[in-house]
Amino acid sequence: MTETTDKKKLAPTVERFILHWGDMGDEWGVNRSVSQIHGLLYLAEAPMTAEDIAETLGMARSNVSNSIKQLLTLSLIRRVPILGDRRDHFEAETDIWEMAARIAAARKEREIDPAIAALRACVTDTADDPTISPVASRRLREMLVFTELVERWYTQMLKVPRPRLIALIRLGEKIVNLLPSAKSK
């Protein structure tokens, strides 16, 4: 990443959040710059131009432009028109539930969907391949069943109205305690 030396001064807590958000994004496979820009826009009180973002974070303008394109594709930020200013201004989605849903959808598309397709192909191939051991075949089927279960759960949760989803999450531990105990395998 090419950085510039001219940075606008941020409040220490804002800077700490932006750096942490960048680290988290990096851990999740998202470019650190993309995550830092998202963190900045999430905390920003007003829409910002790409130039403002580059200056505030000390990033090259080209890096900011590429990162903005990714954030727009993920629908985590949007363009906002400002009367009398021809430049593009950007603001982040600030509804945390909506933001989490969009991030989850992108991760499902990038990680879960290809995994299911690959596992289905592998399971199908095991039926015709005498060199595959029964253990490997069984483990592939188990992994497919698990991954499809996660995908079905995700799809179900999309249909749950937000207030009920919040209640469900809050009830999680209580519900687990109501379930019959089962010894792990």
- Please write the tens of the pLDDT for every residue from 128-175: 899 999 999 999 999 999 999 999 999 999 999 999 999 988 898 788
**CA gap 126, 79 in Å, rounded:** 49
Residue 12 CB neighbour total at 10 angstroms: 8
Q: What is the pTM of this model?
A: 0.80
Express each pLDDT in 55-91 by its tens digit. 999 999 999 999 999 999 999 999 999 999 999 999 9
pLDDT at 2 over 90: no
Within 8 A by CB and 6+ apart from 56, the residues are 7, 8, 10, 40, 48
